[in-house]
């Protein structure tokens, strides 16, 4: 890892970042059009070491006038005021001419943000410090929530990985802090800021405040946090999620949306969380694969939690035919469409997760292994309504659209090959 000294603006390589003598501040920001690369920054620092007629000196002087260079210098100044001798900035601390270094940096990004003593969030489009006592519809808070920082793919892990964050305006004025509180007293500003960030990102406040570990969130919930975010490179939609899911995989720029498919394959190899299939509420008829094509498919899956059913199991392997799995499924008979009430077929229901209702009760979230939208009414073991592909169905004792369970409705393991491409 290459750190930048906040006083001398000189780089230093370290293999023990985050230790007591190498504590560092880290910057989270939205990239602009005039950012400074590692090569540019080195030339800027060499301006005083070469005569004026030397070509690199002229380029270095131009670099020092760029907005990206001024942003780095101001960040170093703020970090120094906070008593940090070292800092890290993704624009200049990675030599992107080296594909190996870039790949290592992306794979290590979550760890680097997690090891940082503090993360400064620079919001270049927020010019006013909101009043913590102002109502939620206050104009300053509205502009804060509308910041483009909340829309970028990479800033999601930069929000979740660090232990402490300080949000700052375009003028580097402190907006507020989010961190795990060691006391029962939390300032009004911290409470308000956490609430506003939660509203902007749809991430639960306990996770933002580090009161609840991110490990408690399901795959569907994590995907839903990335649903509205964008990246300049299509592959970065997937690569920016590697740390969030603790995945390491080769970076292949040019593969397009296949990167997100590969990410899901890797998640399936390491996890038995079936909520990875819980995205059926969004255009379920458009895709043949059981895997989503983009994170936005999970836009309405933020409330799908992991199942507590100890009988649910997933044993899988990726084959050339698809995902070969052994799942505890339940066969049911159902009517495939309301327009065909006399046509009956059979589907396998998988309990992929659960959803907590406004009354505090949980309902099962089931996935039906059929390409068409499923219509079925069936009581769960608890008597609560079951959810099929994201739709809720209340049990009815009769009616021509009421589905009937198969003669042997108990869950049994089934060996299946599922389409995932």
User: Which residues have C-beta within 8 Å of that of residue 340, sequence separation ≥ 6?
Assistant: none
This prediction has a pTM of: 0.83
User: How far apart, in whole angstroms, are the C-alpha atoms of residue 85 and residue 3?
Assistant: 10
Residue 360's alpha-carbon distances to 109, 138, 418, in angstroms, are 37, 31, 34
Residue of higher predicted confidence among 374 and 20: 20
User: How far apart, in whole angstroms, are the C-alpha atoms of residue 323 and residue 339?
Assistant: 32
404 is written with which tokens? 């009937």
User: Which residues have C-beta within 8 Å of that of residue 286, sequence separation ≥ 6?
Assistant: none
Residue of higher predicted confidence among 420 and 406: 420
Q: Report residue 392 CA to chain centroid gap.
A: 27
Whether residue 45 is predicted with pLDDT greater than 70 in this model: the reply is yes
Query: What pLDDT is recorded for position 381?
Result: 40
User: Could you tell me which of 160, 364, 345 has the C-alpha nearest to residue 278?
Assistant: 364
| Cα angle 396-397-401, degrees, rounded to a multiple of 5 | 60
pLDDT 10s digits, 188-200: 677 889 999 999 9
Query: What pLDDT is recorded for position 395?
Result: 32
Mean pLDDT to the nearest integer, 22-47: 92
Whether residue 29 is predicted with pLDDT greater than 60 in this model: the reply is yes
User: How far apart, in whole angstroms, are the C-alpha atoms of residue 165 and residue 160?
Assistant: 9
Query: What pLDDT is recorded for position 149?
Result: 97
Least trusted range by pLDDT, from 33-37, 183-187, 248-252: 183-187
Strand (E) or helix (H) holding 69: helix 67-81
User: Could you tell me which of 204, 196, 212 has the C-alpha nearest to residue 145?
Assistant: 196
pLDDT 10s digits, 345-368: 556 667 788 888 888 888 888 776
Q: Out of 42-46, 287-291, 368-372, give the one with best mean pLDDT.
A: 42-46
Residue 356's alpha-carbon distances to 238, 353, 379, 391, in angstroms, are 28, 10, 17, 14
User: Which residues have C-beta within 8 Å of that of residue 69, sequence separation ≥ 6?
Assistant: 36, 40, 41, 44, 63
User: Which residues have C-beta within 8 Å of that of residue 79, sequence separation ≥ 6?
Assistant: 6, 25, 87, 120
Query: What pLDDT is recorded for position 407?
Result: 36
Query: What pLDDT is recorded for position 396?
Result: 33
Q: Where are the domains of the chain?
A: 2-220, 249-421
Across the chain, mean pLDDT equals 80
239 is written with which tokens? 């690569």
Q: Do the beta carbons of residue 178 and residue 208 sit within 8 Å?
A: yes
Q: Are strands 362-368 and 391-393 parallel, antiparallel or unpaired?
A: unpaired
């Amino acid at each position: 890892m290459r750190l930048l000294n906040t006083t001398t603006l000189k780089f230093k390589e370290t293999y023990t970042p985050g230790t007591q003598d190498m504590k560092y501040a880290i910057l989270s920001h939205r990239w602009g059009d005039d950012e400074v690369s590692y090569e540019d920054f080195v030339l800027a620092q060499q301006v005083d070491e070469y005569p004026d007629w030397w070509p690199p000196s002229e380029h270095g002087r131009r670099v020092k006038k760029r907005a990206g260079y001024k942003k780095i210098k101001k960040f170093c100044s703020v970090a120094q005021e906070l008593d940090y001798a070292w800092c890290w900035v993704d624009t200049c601390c990675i030599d992107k001419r080296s594909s190996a270094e870039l790949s290592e940096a992306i794979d290590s990004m979550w760890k680097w943000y997690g090891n940082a003593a503090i993360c400064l969030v620079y919001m270049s489009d927020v010019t006013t410090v909101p009043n913590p006592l102002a109502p939620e519809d206050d104009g300053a808070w509205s502009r804060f929530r509308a910041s483009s920082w909340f829309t970028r793919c990479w800033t999601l892990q930069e929000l979740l990985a660090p232990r402490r964050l300080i949000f700052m305006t375009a003028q580097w004025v402190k907006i507020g802090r989010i961190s795990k509180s060691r006391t029962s007293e939390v300032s009004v500003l911290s409470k308000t800021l956490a609430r506003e960030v939660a509203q902007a990102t749809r991430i639960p406040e306990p996770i933002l405040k580090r009161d609840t570990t991110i490990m408690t969130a399901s795959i569907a919930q994590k995907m839903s946090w990335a649903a509205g975010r964008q990246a300049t490179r299509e592959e970065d939609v997937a690569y920016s999620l590697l740390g969030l899911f603790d995945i390491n995989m080769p970076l292949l720029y040019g593969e397009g949306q296949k990167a997100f498919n590969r990410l899901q394959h890797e998640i399936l190899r390491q996890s038995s969380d079936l909520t990875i299939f819980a995205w059926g509420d969004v255009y379920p008829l458009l895709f043949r694969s059981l895997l989503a094509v983009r994170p936005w498919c999970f836009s309405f899956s933020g409330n799908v939690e992991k199942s507590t059913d100890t009988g649910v199991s997933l044993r899988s392997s990726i084959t050339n035919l698809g995902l070969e799995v052994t799942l505890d499924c339940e066969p049911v008979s159902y009517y495939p469409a309301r327009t065909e009430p006399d046509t009956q077929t059979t589907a396998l229901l998988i309990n992929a997760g659960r959803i907590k209702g406004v009354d505090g009760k949980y309902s099962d979230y089931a996935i039906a292994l059929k390409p068409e939208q499923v219509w079925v009414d069936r009581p769960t073991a608890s008597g609560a309504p079951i959810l099929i592909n994201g739709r809720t169905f209340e049990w009815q004792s009769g009616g021509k659209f009421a589905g009937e369970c198969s003669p042997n409705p108990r869950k049994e393991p089934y060996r299946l090959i599922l389409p995932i491409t």
